[in-house]
Amino acid sequence: MEPSTTPEIIIGLDVGKTGHHACALTNTGERIYDKPLPQGEAARREIFASMQAHGSVLMVIDQPNTIGALPIAVARDCGCTVGDLPDLAMRKAADLYPGRSKTAAGMHSSSPTPPAPCRTHCGQSTATTRH
């Protein structure tokens, strides 16, 4: 998927120390996944493959350099585009939805597209993606 292309599926991944929560929406806003992401690599591959059955996939993650490294590696290996949500954009999104920014489901289900700017990491590319 090219950085300027609108994906058919957007997965918002909220990573945590003990588990990760994923919410996947179609570009029309239909929620197709909203629950904890399994810990096993094989299970994650199955989930990413099932999302790709709907079209191109963008996974947006809130902590790309630490505990989010494994989901990123698996998503990329499965052919998903991966982007991270910079701290400033995360704070701005939280300001748009006061009182809902503490829950993963509340944060990720608010919009079918990630707030701009979202830096995508597609191999060497660090282009800004705007939706």
| pLDDT by position in tens, the chain (length 131) | 555 578 999 999 888 878 889 999 999 999 999 999 888 899 999 999 999 999 999 999 887 777 788 889 999 999 999 988 777 776 777 777 676 555 444 444 444 444 444 444 433 333 344 34
Question: What is the CATH topology of the domain spanning 9-129?
Answer: Nucleotidyltransferase; domain 5 (3.30.420)
Q: Residue 99 has what pLDDT? A: 67
Alpha carbons 126 and 120: distance in angstroms, whole number? 6
Q: Residue 16 has what pLDDT? A: 81
Q: What's at 15, amino acid-wise? A: V
Q: Residue 117 has what pLDDT? A: 43
Alpha carbons 117 and 41: distance in angstroms, whole number? 29
3-state secondary structure of 126: coil
How do the domains of the chain map onto residue ranges?
9-129
Going along 16-131, which residue ranges are E strands? 20-26, 31-37, 57-61, 81-84, 118-120, 128-129
